[in-house]
A and B are shown apart, each in its own frame.
Chain A
């Protein structure tokens, strides 16, 4: 099924690859994709190198239903998939969501909601938000408790769970209204969290959010006011190692 009112803004990252493959599996395809391009010789941190993606994909195993969207092909470029699925797309020369050319490309589209899967660290500025579109983003963490960056490592240590939360973006980081959120048990291979399980958890929540949209004929909010919680910053590697190596699974 093609969702005519739904577009997508995507960098070619492992996350976007997980999203598109999950949407294809569940027949929830966007009507249009705006690809944010970047210099091919400078992969951004949220992109996988071929060897890294292959090794992490190999580590994603198990049959746990909650990780159903973690079994994606991290090596399939999104352009190839878009061609295969026959989804209309344009390529922006800028990787910046706030670049005037990107904002204009979004503004002139008829779709009212865009899945946002751009490069990490970008915050939507006034110009992008003033297009009147909804920007549907899935945050890698359980909101409102875990805002900010790499929160799944923090929640693994603190409560032995990962999380993902679908929100509409606003001007504040991870503070938009929450449409749907889920907690996940630790995956079998914690070493593959960065590019496989984090993306898989987000893809799962994205699929469920769109299924809810279709079921109810509109957007429902699990947590309309997303205040409070703690804001985290990129986890230090010592703590990241403790999160991955943790044997005591108790809370």
Chain B
């Protein structure tokens, strides 16, 4: 069985996911096989874009720890998946801590225009620090609402945070969105965040390599896909659903 949801370019032809058919356990297996294949795509930027790379190097151990907290051994499973996709990105000497980015979340307001890149950096950073911000869920929910309605992330949102403006095909934004969702789901187990993460990953996996290449840090795609796969496996196991790959 082919996994249809990432077979065609979802930036050009978004899927509305309405009344999707039931296809049994084979469907879950086709999902996993499709994602595993996508993990081995080489789409890294020649020079890592910052602060994206720095955020990812902080996110990976955070995710590993969160998965271990959810279920013993899951962190190890996550690490093994990363290694299978060659996705090991260690922090480098001189990497900045994301605290300043995290603090910037509280400076955003819907009464003013919002740049999506700044918002996403802040949303990821705040989840990687000890800074507690109730605004993280509020802003993530706003962005999810915009994405779910249009299946698009715009470069910026004018005051009021409704109709977006500017570029809508920035691969970098969709990848950052996926990373923010990985972290939020791993911490909260809120199913709506996993549902959106799956849709964003469908979109990322649907893009040709030449479109992806250069916009995502090294191991970036395989990292968010590994986090998504482990999240789905954990949930499936909890619900007694068989999830063996094809």
Contacts and interface: CB of A to CB of B under 8 A. Distances in A.
Interface of A: 45, 154, 157-158, 191, 194, 230-242, 244-248
Nearest to A240: B20
5 contacts: A230-B192, A234-B148, A238-B198, A239-B191, A239-B194
A68 to B, nearest CB: 24
Contacts of A194: 19
A45 B16 CA distance: 11
B236 A242 contact: yes
Nearest to B19: A45
Given A238-B28, A238-B232, A246-B239, A233 B18 contact: no
B17 to A, nearest CB: 5
B190 A239 contact: no
Contacts of B145: 231, 233
Given A154-B192, A236-B199, A239-B194, A244 B22 contact: yes
Nearest to B16: A234
A230 B190 contact: yes
A157 B148 CA distance: 21
Contacts of B196: 233, 236
B246 interface: no
A232 B196 CA distance: 10
Given A154-B192, A233-B144, A242 B241 contact: yes
Interface in B1-29: 5, 16-20, 22-25, 27-28
Nearest to B239: A246
A237 B20 contact: yes
Interface string B25-46: 1011001000000000000000
B195 interface: yes
Contacts of B141: 231
A233 B195 contact: yes
A245 B241 contact: yes
The winner among B27, B191, B196 for most chain A CB atoms within 10 A is: B191
Contacts of B191: 154, 157-158, 232, 239
B240 interface: yes
B69 to A, nearest CB: 19
Nearest to A151: B192
A240 B22 contact: yes
B238 interface: yes
Nearest to A148: B192
Contacts of A45: 18-19
B109 interface: no
Contact of A247 (B19, B195, B202, B241): B241
* 5 cross-chain pairs, A with B, having the tightest CB-CB distances, nearest first: A247-B240, A248-B240, A236-B198, A246-B239, A233-B148
Interface in B185-238: 190-192, 194-196, 198-199, 202, 232, 235-236, 238
Contacts of B232: 238, 242
B240 A241 contact: no
Contacts of B190: 230
Contacts of B199: 236
B240 A246 contact: yes
A194 B22 CA distance: 10
Contacts of B18: 45, 234
The winner among B5, B19, B190 for most chain A CB atoms within 10 A is: B19
B192 A233 contact: yes
B28 A241 contact: yes
A248 B5 CA distance: 27
